[in-house]
Amino acid sequence: MNIVLLTFLLIVAIAIIRTRDLFAVTMLLSIYGLLSASFFVTLDAVDVAFTEAAVGAGISGLLMLVAISITGRKEQSAKRKPFIALLVVSLTTLLLFYGISDMPYFGATDAPIHNHVAPRYIQDSMGEVGIPNIVTSVLATYRAFDTFGEVVVIFTAGIGVFALLSSSNAHSQAKNIIPDQNSMDKRHLVIRIVTKILFPFILLFALYVQFHGDFGPGGGFQAGVVFAAAVILYAMLFGMKEATKVFSQSLVQVVAAIGVLLYASVGVATLLLGGDFFDYNSLASDPIAGQHIGILVIELGVGCTVAAVMMIIFFSFNDLQEQPKADNNKEPEL
Amino acid sequence: MDTLMNFLSALCLLVGALICVSGAVGVNRFNDFYTRMHAASVTDTLGAAFILIGLMLISDQFIVIAKLMIILLLGLIVGPTTSHVLAKAALKNGLKPNIPEQSRNDISKK
């Protein structure tokens, strides 16, 4: 099973490199994300598979399509053949293979990774943290600082996209966006009705995943992505004006910042209450309750930031798309 | 009773897998976009429904059956909608369906 999936991954990767049409490349990237998610499921890493399916197979394909609608569909052909780069890459590959030959076998019990930290997490997690999902406890408690870095990276990406793509005339353009005539426009009837039916359930599912991360696969990242996907779907079908009535640009930016602030303030609170940075034992009188409170608040922060950043990226791309381009580059109408 | 459920579920899973494979063959062999779209969407939805029913038959807890039913409902709603949207987008952008000469003459004669 692993071999079949890895072979498919290899074939899709080669196809991605060789294809010239960027639209097809985006579809192939989504397929790559789906295959990676299945591969993670066969490796018993369900949380990671969930995140990969939501991000790689879903959102990132969508954001790339929006980017293509601005840049154009054909990849420019290379002017000259870069032989030096090929030499450097081959040399690095040979060195990597040489390094891999020394690694312990996959899943061997005497490998160092299975002997130092992992047994302590697996055995002590239930007693120290008290939630069944060990992945969440490692992510949110034992390695809270690393997750803090991840959230800051996502926030920085959102700021970067916003800084690059928003221009001074974007705000005047926003006033000129012509709203669609009425929300039950005859052209798009089927998909608008289906979206209206599904939209509350998608949001509900996002909230469920957010708060269920303690007991099953889930947590802040997946929940944020699903939430942002629902809002982006609504914005695509009903127009930006309708979507910005609820989720205006400034609200989304503020929510992104609040997410990171929540996360950091939990750490500062633990410092002020006398423990280490991100040591949740000091948050409440009972250490286990303190752990639960800490995990809840930081997952909330992560979910807020991820959802808001995805929405920032999509809205920034949309603001940039002023006039429709030439025929073969225009994103096809629905 | 148990072996009957196992047998039925195995049958459903096999039929579902065969339907999906036939969908893949259809996508490969048809030469027009719209027929390919039809093959992919119908067989995907039906194959997924069969596989989910097969899984429902051998699950023992009610919560698992309920979750599978919700997934089935979602698949039944979303699958045909997306294929409809794709076909409509293709038609809007000018991709004409490939009607063979004989039926085109029959249609225009009526």
Backbone phi and psi for residue B28, each to the nearest 5 degrees, phi listed first: -75, -40
Quote the distance between the C-alpha of residue A264 and its chain's center. Answer: 20
Alpha-carbon distance of A135 to A143, in angstroms, equals 10
In the beta sheet, which residues pair with residue A74? A21
Alpha-carbon distance of A7 to A135, in angstroms, equals 28
Contacts of A332 in chain B (CB under 8 A): 89, 92-93
Contacts of A194 in chain B (CB under 8 A): 77-78, 81
Domains for chain A: give ranges and CATH numbers: 1-75 (1.20.120.1200), 132-334 (no CATH)
Whether B81 sits inside 8 A of A190 (CB atoms) is yes
**Alpha-helical segments (H) within chain A:** 2-18, 22-42, 46-54, 60-71, 83-100, 118-128, 134-137, 144-165, 170-176, 189-211, 220-238, 240-246, 249-272, 287-320
Alpha-carbon distance of A255 to A154, in angstroms, equals 13
Q: pLDDT category, B104, cuts 50, 70, 90?
A: low
How does pLDDT run across A44-74, given as a tens digit for each residue?
888 889 989 988 888 888 888 888 877 777 7
Alpha-carbon distance of A217 to A211, in angstroms, equals 10
Whether B85 sits inside 8 A of A197 (CB atoms) is no
Whether A333 sits inside 8 A of B81 (CB atoms) is no
Question: Among A42, A72, A97, which residue's Cα sits nearest to residue A321?
Answer: A72
Q: Under a CB-based contact definition with an 8 Å cutoff, are residues A129 and A137 in contact?
A: yes
pLDDT in tens, chain A (334 residues): 788 888 989 999 998 888 888 888 888 999 999 999 999 998 888 888 998 998 888 888 888 888 887 777 777 666 777 788 889 999 999 998 888 887 777 666 666 667 777 777 787 777 777 788 888 888 888 888 888 899 999 999 988 888 887 765 555 555 555 554 444 456 778 888 888 899 999 999 999 988 888 788 888 888 999 999 999 888 888 877 778 788 888 888 899 999 899 888 888 888 888 777 777 777 777 778 888 888 888 889 899 999 999 998 888 887 776 444 433 333 444 4
Whether B85 sits inside 8 A of A332 (CB atoms) is no
How does pLDDT run across A69-108, given as a tens digit for each residue?
777 777 766 677 778 888 999 999 999 888 888 777 766 6
How does pLDDT run across A313-333, given as a tens digit for each residue?
888 887 776 444 433 333 444
Of A190, A198, A333, the CB nearest to B84: A190
For chain B, how are helix, strand and coil distributed in percent, rounded to 5?
Answer: 85, 0, 15
* DSSP, res A184: T
Interchain CB contact of A332 with B (< 8 Å):
yes
Q: Which of A190, A193, A212, A215 to mutate to test the interface with B (most CBs of B within 10 A)?
A: A190
DSSP per-residue string spanning B22-78: HHHHHHHH--SHHHHHHHHHHHHHHHHHHHHHHHHHH--SHHHHHHHHHHHHHHHHH
Q: What is the largest CA-CA distance in chain B?
A: 60
Of A190, A198, A332, the CB nearest to B93: A332
Interchain CB contact of A326 with B (< 8 Å):
no
Could you say which residues from 165 to 194 on chain A have a Cβ atom under 8 Å away from some Cβ of chain B?
190-191, 194
- For tokens 């490998």, the residue is A111
B74: nearest CA in chain A?
A: A198
Alpha-carbon distance of B22 to B43, in angstroms, equals 7
Alpha-carbon distance of A147 to B76, in angstroms, equals 37
